[in-house]
Structures are given as structure tokens and as C-alpha cells.
């Protein structure tokens, strides 16, 4: 299976602040990968390294087989929608399409026109007058009509209301399914990604906590509920990711390869949100660290 993004011990430091630490990833092609983590975890840093807006402090990263941004050809193969979906406020929607056509050899003008029409954007409107959702659609159109092999989106829906959010993600899925594009999309909200991702990367405190195929991850984790237990007495092959206890009851999220046979526990499938929250809180409960997690539905 080919790999779209491969990093080894990738690190980025801004002065004394470590923004990304020892990030080793290998994301297969053809996936919609979700990059989840709280604000400030290093998601934007990782994505900027992937599109070549930043250079690594140490370690290596390769996107589509080359360190970004090797050349105009490499740039043409990767589409990027930056955080807050920046556009030129003084330029019209039509100007932006012209910009895309002039600056990208593989520009698909028909696709761009169709997308603009389907999301009801007025070509003569200045981008500065668009709503957040419209601007995000314009930015996405620019990235998609470039006809990239790999589309990277940094919190594209963060500033959108729930309806615009759903429309944006729907448009994204339709476009990527149609053209067979690999996608890497970041969000601090699990709920945004739950519907669209089949590959997951959890990033907190500048480190990758969890990465893998969503189905595999869901299959290898269990949510157990049972009478209050002693943590030390649990089977050794259970890797407890998170545990919470009330006076009478314990809830555990464990990683295990085998089915749970012990009938004192009620065994449930984990959801992606359970999984992400468990790994985030695991990182947060590490001594000396403290970070508030943002979870919204």
C-alpha cells in the first residue's frame, strides 16, 4: 500500500517552545485521515510542515514521496486549506478562480465553476464580504480545483455554524470521493471528524498519542463497566487507557487483542469519541501536565 505522508522523529521548536516532538507517522494513500487534538497540541505545526510552510527543526517528513515543498510540481500535487480559510478580502470570487488558474498548471476550471455555482457563490462578490461558511467553500474550491492528489485541511470548519459545517464536510466528501483524493483534516472537535474519517491521529502535548485505521482502532479497544475494582488486579494483557471510578462502579477503556471473557464486566464497543477522549485524558493525566480538553457536540 502506498503512503502519502511519512514522518520520522519529526520535531519543530519555536524558540524554547516545543511545538511538535518526535512525530513518527505513516499515513496510507486513499484515506480520509483525521488529526485530532486540543488547541495548541501542534496540529497546525504538523500540517504546515506537511505543506512546506515550515521547515522541521529535526527529523524528516515526506509527502507523496518528497520532502515538501520540493518543487512547483510537488506544490501542484498537494492542496491546502489553511486555518480560518484565508482569502484575499479585496479580490472577488472570480478573481480567486483566476488566481487559481494562473498559479496552478493542473487547474480544473469547469470543476471550479460548478462548485462555485453549487454552493451559490456570486462570482462578482468580494471575498471580504463573504460569510465564514462561504469563504470556507471558496478556499475549498481553490484547493480542490487545483486537482491535487493529497488535500490537507487545517480546522476548516472551526469557525462555521453547525449547518455550514455539515455542508462543508459533505462537499468535501463528495469532491474527494469523485476524484479519489487522499485527505488529511484536522479538528479539535471529534464530532466533526467522526462521520468522515477512516484513519485517525490523536495529537496532544506536541506528541502523537494514537494513530491507525479507525476500524482497527475501534476493534482493538473495549469499554468495560463493572463493580468497582482494584486496578492492580486487572489482567496483564489489558492496557488500560483510561479509568473512572464511582463508589460502586468502575468504567475502563482498554486496549486488548483478545475478547474479554470475564462476565463481571459489561463489554461495549467504543466510539471514536470515547477513544479520542481516553487518549487525550491519558496524556493530560501524566504528572506535571495539565490541559483542558475541548469536547463539543
Partner 1 sequence: MMWLTWRQFRTQAIIAAGGLALMAIILAVSGVHLANQFNASGIIGCQAHGHCEQVASNFLRTLRGSGYQVVFLIAAGLTYAVPGLIGVFWGAPLITREIEAGTIRLAWTQSVTRTHWLAAKVGLIGIAAMATAGLLSLMAGWFANPVYAATAKAGAGPSGLNRFEPAVFGVSGIVPIGYAAFGFALGLTFGVLIRRTLPAMAATLGVFAGIQVAWLQLIRPHLLTPLRSIVPLDIANINSLMTNPGGHEMVVTASVHKPGAWILTNQTIDAAGHPFTGPATNACLNGGIQACNASVGRLHLRQLITFQPASRFWTFQWYETAIFVVVAVVLAWFCYSRVSRRRLT
**Given the rule CB under 8 A, which residues bind partner 1?**
48, 51-55, 69, 71-73, 75-76, 78-80, 82-84, 86-91, 95, 98-100, 102-106, 139, 142, 146
When the beta carbons of 17 and 248 are compared against partner 1, the nearer one is 17
Distance CA 116, CA 113 (A): 5
Q: For residues 277 and 190, is the Cβ–Cβ distance under 8 A?
A: yes
Instruction: Calculate the dihedral angle through the C-alpha atoms of 191, 192, 194, 198, rounding to the nearest 10 degrees.
Output: -160
**CA–CA dist 197, 31 (Å, integer):** 8
Rank residues 106 and 123 by Cβ distance to partner 1 and give the closer one: 106
CB of 105 to partner 1, least distance (A): 6
For the bound state, the minimum distance from the C-beta of residue 254 to partner 1, rounded and expressed in Å, comes to 40
- Choose between 100 and 133: whose C-beta lies nearer to partner 1: 100
DSSP state letters, 21-65: EEEEEEEETT-EEEEE--TTSSHHHHHHHHHTSS--SEEEEEETT
Q: Which is nearer to partner 1, 129 or 239 (CB)?
A: 129
Closer to partner 1 by CB, 133 or 282: give it: 133
Least Å from the CB of residue 200 to partner 1 = 24
- Would you say 82 or 243 has its CB closer to partner 1? 82
How is the chain split among helix, strand and coil, in percent rounded to 5? 35, 30, 35
| Calpha distance 231→242 (Å, rounded) | 11
Minimum Å gap between C-beta 153 and partner 1 is: 11
CB of 12 to partner 1, least distance (A): 11
Q: Which residue's C-alpha cell is 470515547?
A: 274
Location of C-alpha cell 481516553: 278
What stretches of the chain show up as alpha helix (H) in DSSP? Answer: 43-51, 72-77, 93-103, 109-118, 132-145, 162-179, 190-194, 214-219, 272-284
Shortest gap between Cβ of 104 and partner 1 (angstroms)?
4
Amino acid at each position: 500500500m502506498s503512503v502519502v505522508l511519512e514522518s520520522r522523529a519529526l520535531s519543530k521548536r519555536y524558540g524554547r517552545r516545543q511545538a511538535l516532538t518526535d512525530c513518527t507517522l505513516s499515513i496510507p494513500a486513499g484515506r480520509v485521515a483525521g488529526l485530532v487534538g486540543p488547541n495548541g497540541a501542534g496540529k497546525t505545526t504538523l500540517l504546515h510542515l506537511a505543506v512546506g510552510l515550515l521547515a522541521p527543526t529535526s527529523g524528516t517528513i515526506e509527502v507523496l514521496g518528497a520532502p515538501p515543498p520540493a518543487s512547483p510540481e510537488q506544490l501542484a500535487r498537494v492542496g491546502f486549506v489553511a486555518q480560518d480559510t484565508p482569502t484575499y478580502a479585496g479580490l472577488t470570487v472570480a478573481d480567486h478562480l483566476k488566481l487559481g488558474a494562473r498559479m496552478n498548471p493542473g487547474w480544473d476550471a469547469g470543476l471550479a465553476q460548478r462548485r462555485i455555482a453549487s454552493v451559490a457563490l456570486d462570482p462578482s462578490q468580494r471575498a471580504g464580504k463573504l460569510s465564514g461558511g462561504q469563504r470556507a467553500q471558496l478556499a475549498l474550491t481553490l484547493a480542490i480545483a487545483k486537482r491535487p492528489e493529497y488535500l490537507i485541511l487545517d480546522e476548516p470548519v472551526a469557525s462555521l455554524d453547525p449547518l455550514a459545517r455539515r455542508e462543508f464536510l459533505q462537499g468535501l466528501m463528495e469532491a474527494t470521493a469523485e476524484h479519489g483524493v487522499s485527505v488529511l483534516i484536522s479538528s479539535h472537535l471529534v464530532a466533526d471528524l467522526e462521520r468522515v474519517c477512516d484513519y485517525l491521529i490523536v495529537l496532544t502535548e506536541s506528541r502523537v498519542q494514537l494513530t491507525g485505521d479507525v476500524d482497527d482502532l475501534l476493534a482493538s479497544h473495549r469499554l468495560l463497566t463493572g463493580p468497582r475494582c482494584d486496578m492492580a488486579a486487572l489482567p496483564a494483557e489489558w492496557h488500560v487507557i483510561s479509568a473512572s471510578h464511582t463508589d460502586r462502579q468502575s468504567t475502563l477503556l482498554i486496549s486488548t487483542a483478545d475478547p474479554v471473557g470475564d462476565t463481571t464486566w459489561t463489554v461495549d464497543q467504543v466510539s471514536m469519541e470515547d477513544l479520542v477522549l481516553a487518549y487525550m485524558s491519558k496524556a493530560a493525566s501524566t504528572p506535571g501536565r495539565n490541559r483542558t480538553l475541548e469536547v463539543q457536540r
